[in-house]
Structure 1
Amino acid sequence: MMQKILILFTGGTISMTTDLSTKKTVLDDSNIDLISSISKRFQNNELVPLVFSMKPSPAMTPNDMCRIGQLIDEKLSQDDYAGCVVTHGTDTLEETSYFLDLFLQTRKPVVVTGSMRNYSELGYDGFSNLVSSILVAGNPASINRGVLVCLNDEINSASEVTKTHTLALDTFKSMEFGPLGIVDEQDVIYYRESVKHKYHLTPSQLTARVDIIKVTTGMDSSLLNYYVESKLVNGIVLEAFGRGNVPPTMVDGIKNAINHGIKVVVTSRCPKGRVRDTYAYAGGGAHLKELGVLFSGDLSSQKSRIKLLLALSLNNDNIDQYFEIA
């Protein structure tokens, strides 16, 4: 039986072209042309295109991600579907892919891809990225690996990968650990497993709001206190210094937030390494742990926000289990 691969289009540069009058990049629903151009390469697969949205990825919201996840689970629950490829804009691709990694029930392969160049540019990478992603999604070795990100013939885990460059074709990298594998012509080759502990967070709807505060020198508690007084958020991610430290002038605001039931998670503005309760001075990691701040390991602030948002939306009291200090 010919296996089906769902191709779920959401927008982004892979679905864009250059406007000849302005010379600027704009959305253009050319997905049918894209599928027809590559379908002859997949004689043993039926490619099933479905347009979820046509939007640039900065317009993507967590509620969109939730609906994408529900749609994928619905489709992949059918036996004749082998996997799914999601095309997405690269600006927020890592957030959507990590959301899906936490959210999805299916263990069938789900691969998120995009492109750095639009359909009308020389060297358009959307063709090769989509072809490689379909190969990954249809390969049995991709089953039960969580959500994967495939661009530039590299396969990365959604929990590890980040966008590292504004323009380069090889922008998506797992800086700490390297890719899980590669696509070499028709071959899908895996070198390692993901090192991340897998959490499964599937709320029926998103009921929480989480914001990120980037910590800078001399910062005080004003912004934290504003969040408390405005009652805007249920959680705050602090993108802190180094090992997970903040200025002492932020401590009162952190206490205030925690005392008002706001979950506070600390991560680092460093692109590599983990946060930990190493320093015992005021505002240091050990001090923050004593106050009840949660630690995000080596997750970026944007991924920590996604995890906290999903955990809080579960409406249970055991949020701490999803964050780590080890």
Structure 2
Amino acid sequence: MSNRSKVAFIGTGGTISSLGTDSLDILNYTATGLRLTADAILDRVPEARTVADVVAVPFRAVASPAIGFSEWRDLVWLCERLTCEHPDLAGIVIGHGTATLEETAYALSLTLTVACPVVLVGAQRPISALSSDAGLNLVAALRTAAAPASHSRGVLVVLNDEIQAARDVTKTSVARLQTFRTLDFGALGQIDGAAVHYYRRSERRHAPGTPFDIRDRSTLPRVDVSYAHADADGTAVRAFVAAGARGIVSAGLAPGMTPPAEADALEDAVSAGVIVVQSTRAGSGVVPLTTRLAERGILSADNLTPQKARILLALALTTTRDPAAIAEIFATY
């Protein structure tokens, strides 16, 4: 009997599963439409089965721009089923495209019902490429999911030998291998060979045990992101309200401001019953709840990026429409 830990590997597609036209195709590989299943990825990376007893789990094989709420919900169910079918499961690894990896990771960190470590992993170069990072990233993710020290840390993201918190990490570069960064706080830890080292812990609450249960939902409340820029006149905000948005996240100018016409449109949205949360396009830093924002009825996103503030606001709206309660949710998660 193997003494290796049992880890499930769910493949959702993305670069980590993709096959280009040849080994030098590191940019146009999505044009082939060829993506490997979880089983096929493990066959391509035989070293993965030497670090854990890996259970390959079929899911979908798509580019990550196609992943959203329905996949998040199905992954919550799938992770729950896996832990029931495999009581000895040490952890779960989810292969994912990097374009929306941080959004899936954060959504799962707020909605999962399982207590075992869940690690999202991707790659910047397709698995077929010369010097692909897919194989070593997968091995590192499996080691992280199996490590006892990974328990109770929320959903983790592993690429480039670094362990990041789902809430805090963001993709910062189109093609560089060190693209996933936690700009305000730094990585939680690192993987050095077989050793998984942690150096800090995220303080914000995470699943399991959150009030956000999406398992039986068909959709989330509509929340849109309005990107601020010089001369923004509120056209996008008004269009979102007309489309039925129940929430709007403003990706404002740092430190959390918008041009006057945009600010007026956001205030009108609040008057119409839409919850508005102010984030910033800067990518890091806390948006202060200034007198100006408070007077307009606009909430602070804390230090969440606009794309993650959108997820939290949508989930918050499944539990309450009270602005004070939603403000408390942003201070908690």
Q: Determine if the TM-score, normalized by the shorter chain, exceeds 0.5.
A: yes
Aligned pairs for 1:155-170 within 5 A: 155-170=163-178
Give the letter aligned to residue 74 of structure 2. Answer: R
Name structure 2 gaps, 5 residues minimum: none
Counterpart for residue 18 of structure 1: 20
Give the letter aligned to residue 163 of structure 1. Answer: K
Give the letter aligned to residue 7 of structure 2. Answer: I
Counterpart for residue 212 of structure 1: 225
Counterpart for residue 240 of structure 2: 227
The reply to whether residue 56 of structure 1 matches residue 58 of structure 2 is no
Give the letter aligned to residue 11 of structure 1. Answer: G
1:238 to 243, 246, 250: 250
Displacement of 1:287 after TM fit? 1.2
Report SS of the residue matched to 1:68. helix
Report SS of the residue matched to 2:317. helix
Displacement of 1:269 after TM fit? 1.1
Displacement of 1:208 after TM fit? 0.6
Q: Distance in 1 between matches of 2:130 and 2:319?
A: 46
Report SS of the residue matched to 1:71. helix
Name structure 1 gaps, 5 residues minimum: 278-284
Q: Distance in 2 between matches of 1:270 and 1:136?
A: 30
TM-score normalised per structure 1: 0.90
2:213 to 186, 197, 202: 202
Counterpart for residue 302 of structure 1: 307
Pick closer, same or farther for the CA change 1:223–1:111 going to 2, 3 Å: same
TM-score normalised per structure 2: 0.88
Matched-pair contact (CA < 8 Å) for 2:94–2:121 = yes
Counterpart for residue 321 of structure 1: 328
Aligned pairs for 1:269-284 within 5 A: 269-277=281-289
Pick closer, same or farther for the CA change 1:30–1:252 going to 2, 3 Å: closer
Q: Distance in 1 between matches of 2:51 and 2:251?
A: 47
Report SS of the residue matched to 1:313. coil
Counterpart for residue 158 of structure 2: 150
Q: Distance in 1 between matches of 2:132 and 2:197?
A: 24
Percent identity among equivalent residues? 34
Matched-pair contact (CA < 8 Å) for 2:51–2:143 = no
Report SS of the residue matched to 1:165. coil
Q: Distance in 2 between matches of 1:63 and 1:44?
A: 32
Q: Distance in 2 between matches of 1:190 and 1:41?
A: 22
Q: Distance in 1 between matches of 2:273 and 2:283?
A: 29
Q: Distance in 1 between matches of 2:72 and 2:205?
A: 21
Give the letter aligned to residue 117 of structure 2. Answer: P
Q: Distance in 1 between matches of 2:92 and 2:240?
A: 39
Aligned pairs for 1:52-131 within 5 A: 52-77=59-84, 78-131=86-139
1:268 to 256, 273, 280: 280
Displacement of 1:202 after TM fit? 2.2
Give the letter aligned to residue 14 of structure 2. Answer: G
Pick closer, same or farther for the CA change 1:290–1:74 going to 2, 3 Å: farther
Displacement of 1:134 after TM fit? 0.3
Displacement of 1:315 after TM fit? 5.1
Give the letter aligned to residue 69 of structure 1. Answer: V
Aligned pairs for 1:243-258 within 5 A: 243-258=255-270
Displacement of 1:286 after TM fit? 2.0
Matched-pair contact (CA < 8 Å) for 2:8–2:56 = yes
2:7 to 5, 8, 23: 5
Stretches of 4+ moved more than 4 A in 1?
37-44
Pick closer, same or farther for the CA change 1:117–1:40 going to 2, 3 Å: closer
Report SS of the residue matched to 2:311. helix
